[in-house]
Amino acid sequence: MEDRDNSGGIFEGTYNKLISQEDFGADEQSQRVSMSTWRPESSLSYHKMLTVSLAVLAVILLVVDISLGVYYNKITSGNHLVTDIASEMAKLQATYDTELQSKEEARKELAKETSEHQFTKWEMDHLDSRSKSYKEQINQFQIEIASMKSHIPMIEEGCRQCMPGWTFMNSRCYYITFSNNLRKPWLVARRYCKIKGGDLAVIDSRETHMRLFELINNNRDPTKPISVSGYWIGLRDIDEEGIWKWLDGTRLTDGYWNDGEPNNHSNEDCAAMYPRINPFKSWNDAPCSYSLKWICEMRSRPAD
């Protein structure tokens, strides 16, 4: 039973294989017939496509070549431009360096001129200061000369009616200690005047005050402080505070006190005249023990 079945299966398989081989042969023959039938047209299309492709490729190559040529020309032109720019930059740099050097030289020259100008200005200021000083000295000399000339009549008259060194004014003789080395307390100064035959000055008129003030003001030493530049006069309030009397016993009615004077500061009982700008504010009270210059007064000698 099994052998029969096996032989039947083998037969069936062999049959199917033969049928398949026949079908395959028929298909292969059919394909060969088909290929042999369409070969000429396929070859023509292939050549056309190849020709077109080559033409396109040639065009592309031409475009690339043209582009490369244009780009090369641009690069070449650019190189020339860069060269020209570099040359111009070098020229500009050289010009800049030259101008910079010229500027530095000009700066040095300006500094030199400025220094010389400053020196000249200092010299001119110095000369101007000296000129002003000389003018002031000349003016002072002229004032002193005028003052001396105005005193000539008094001196001439004084030579006849006063002792040497004394000044004749209003029928009286006055002696003024102009020396800075002659400063004495009030009592010592009065004693000196008495030894000479007079006394400390009694200023009993505006004219006498103004002429004495002019004398002491014209002989003022500007290097000395005002506190030591005063001159004792014959006026004090030693008997009664605030009641000022001259040495001849006359009570003071019209004085020429400075602002705030007399103030009796530190027991100031003696009066002195000071060289000031305002002649009507030239008196101060001071301690009688203070050392100052002084003004003596005496009667003149009878005229010959």
CB-count burial class (<10 Å; 0-12, 13-18, 19+) for 147:
middle
CA gap 180, 263 in Å, rounded: 26
Considering the domain boundaries, does residue 54 fall inside one? no
Considering the domain boundaries, does residue 93 fall inside one? no
DSSP string, 19-63: HHHHHHHHHHHHHHHHHHHHHHHHHHHHHHHHHHHHHHHHHHHHH
Residue ranges, the chain, pLDDT below 50: 1-11, 14-15, 18-19, 22-26, 28-38
In this predicted structure, what is the pLDDT of residue 156? 57
The pTM score is: 0.51
Considering the domain boundaries, does residue 150 fall inside one? yes
In this predicted structure, what is the pLDDT of residue 84? 78
Q: How many helices (H) and strands (E) does the chain have?
A: 3, 8
In this predicted structure, what is the pLDDT of residue 151? 60
In this predicted structure, what is the pLDDT of residue 292? 96
Considering the domain boundaries, does residue 68 fall inside one? no
Q: Which amino acid is at 202?
A: V
Residue range(s) defining the domain that contains residue 244: 139-299
Considering the domain boundaries, does residue 244 fall inside one? yes
Considering the domain boundaries, does residue 38 fall inside one? no
Considering the domain boundaries, does residue 257 fall inside one? yes
Query: pLDDT, tens digit, for every residue of 5-30?
Result: 444 444 455 445 544 554 444 454 44
Query: pLDDT, tens digit, for every residue of 176-205?
Result: 998 888 899 999 999 999 999 999 999 989
Q: How many domains does the chain have?
A: 1
In this predicted structure, what is the pLDDT of residue 3? 45
Peptide bond into 262 cis (omega under 30): yes
CA gap 134, 130 in Å, rounded: 6
> Which of 215, 231, 210 lies closest to 147, judged by CA?
215
Contact present, 199 and 247 (Cβ < 8 Å): yes
CATH number of domain containing 238: 3.10.100.10
Considering the domain boundaries, does residue 117 fall inside one? no
Contact present, 189 and 294 (Cβ < 8 Å): yes
